């Protein structure tokens, strides 16, 4: 049953934050610029003013307490999809269904904000939602344009260390003449709730990519990523 005071035209933000990070232990709540990593995603969601609910989906009581202290809602722990093999989309779809059952509310749009993308801010979220609504999309995944790391020049190495070109034809072209290539980032994934619940993935039929700045898009998975994100955050502050 839908809560008639809330209606079905509201947005819910879901921040996945399972405890089992191997490359950076307790990654989602380690310090990033003086706050737990997850704090930046929670604050960005709050500052965007776009959400009826900001839900953190976690299997860990410690992460839950940190998230609640920062203003997110964690009325339940994750019941499934907390292992190394389940996709984050499956976990978010399950959390969405849990939220709908718990609050007896329906939501029009679900926005997944990965806790390990601390440089994405409220402006990025509002811009992504505006594009999603303007183009009447059913699913939208954030991405960034490759810059100096030009994938057209990618190679594999054989057993002797010799390069095997993945796109040999591109080596005969100037970089400025090659098509732009994009990489997905976990910063802002958006879907109609019905579409996500049906397909259990943001990569549902007719999904689109939405470019954003690499300075906002960084995913932190290991300590090198962490150092890179910290350097970018310092640069971002200096350019404000």
The residue count of the chain comes to 240
Q: Quick check: is 75 in a domain?
A: yes
Q: Quick check: is 70 in a domain?
A: yes
Q: What is the mean pLDDT of residues 133-138?
A: 97
Q: Quick check: is 107 in a domain?
A: yes
Distance of CA 124 to the CA centre of its chain: 12
Q: Quick check: is 147 in a domain?
A: no
DSSP string, 194-226: HHHHHHSSSS-TT-EEEE--HHHH----SHHHH
Specify the long-range contacts of residues 99-102, CB closer than 8 Å, at least 24 apart: 99/12, 99/14, 99/53, 99/55, 100/193, 102/75, 102/76
Q: Quick check: is 235 in a domain?
A: no
Positive or negative, the Cα torsion across 179, 142, 215, 31? negative
The string of pLDDT tens digits covering residues 145-156 is 998 788 999 999
CATH number at residue 122: 3.90.550.10
Q: Quick check: is 170 in a domain?
A: no
Cα 66 to Cα 29, 44, 74, 122: the distances in Å are 8, 16, 10, 20
Residues facing residue 157 across a β-bridge: 163
Domain hosting residue 91, numbered range: 11-142+183-209
Structure tokens at 127: 């811009």
Q: Alpha-carbon distance 56 to 119, whole Å?
A: 18
The string of pLDDT tens digits covering residues 166-224 is 999 998 888 888 999 999 999 999 999 999 999 999 999 999 999 999 999 999 999 99
Torsion of CA 17, 22, 25, 28, to 10 degrees: -20
Q: Quick check: is 191 in a domain?
A: yes
| Angle value at C-alpha 197, between 82 and 204, nearest 5 degrees | 95
The string of pLDDT tens digits covering residues 57-72 is 999 999 999 999 999 9
Q: Quick check: is 160 in a domain?
A: no
Structure tokens at 115: 């806790």
Place 41 in a pLDDT band, splitting at 50, 70 and 90. Answer: very high
Domain total of the chain:
1
Q: CB-based burial of residue 68 (10 Å sphere; 0-12 exposed, 13-18 middle, 19+ buried)?
A: middle
Contacts of 122 (CB under 8 A, 6+ apart): 43, 44, 45, 46, 47, 48, 49
9, pLDDT greater than 70? no
């Amino acid at each position: 049953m839908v809560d008639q005071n809330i209606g079905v035209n509201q947005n819910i933000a879901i921040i996945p934050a399972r405890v089992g990070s191997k490359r950076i232990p307790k990654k989602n709540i380690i310090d990033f610029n003086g706050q737990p990593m997850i704090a930046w995603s929670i604050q960005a969601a709050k500052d965007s003013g776009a959400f009826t609910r900001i839900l953190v989906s976690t299997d860990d009581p410690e992460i839950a307490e940190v998230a609640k202290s920062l203003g997110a809602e964690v009325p339940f722990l994750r019941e499934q999809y907390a292992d190394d093999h389940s996709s984050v989309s499956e976990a978010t779809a399950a959390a969405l269904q849990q939220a709908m059952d718990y609050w007896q509310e329906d939501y029009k749009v679900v926005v997944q904000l990965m806790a390990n993308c601390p440089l994405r801010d409220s402006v990025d979220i509002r811009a992504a939602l505006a594009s999603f609504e303007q183009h009447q999309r059913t699913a939208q995944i954030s991405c960034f344009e490759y810059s100096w790391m030009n994938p057209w020049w990618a190679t594999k190495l054989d057993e002797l260390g010799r390069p095997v070109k993945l796109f040999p034809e591109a080596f005969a072209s100037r970089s400025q003449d090659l098509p732009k290539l994009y990489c997905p980032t976990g910063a802002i994934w958006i879907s109609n709730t019905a579409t996500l619940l049906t397909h259990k993935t943001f990569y549902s039929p007719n999904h689109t990519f939405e470019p954003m700045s690499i300075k906002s898009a960084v995913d932190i998975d290991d300590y090198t990523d962490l150092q890179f994100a910290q350097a970018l955050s310092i640069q971002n502050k200096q350019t404000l």
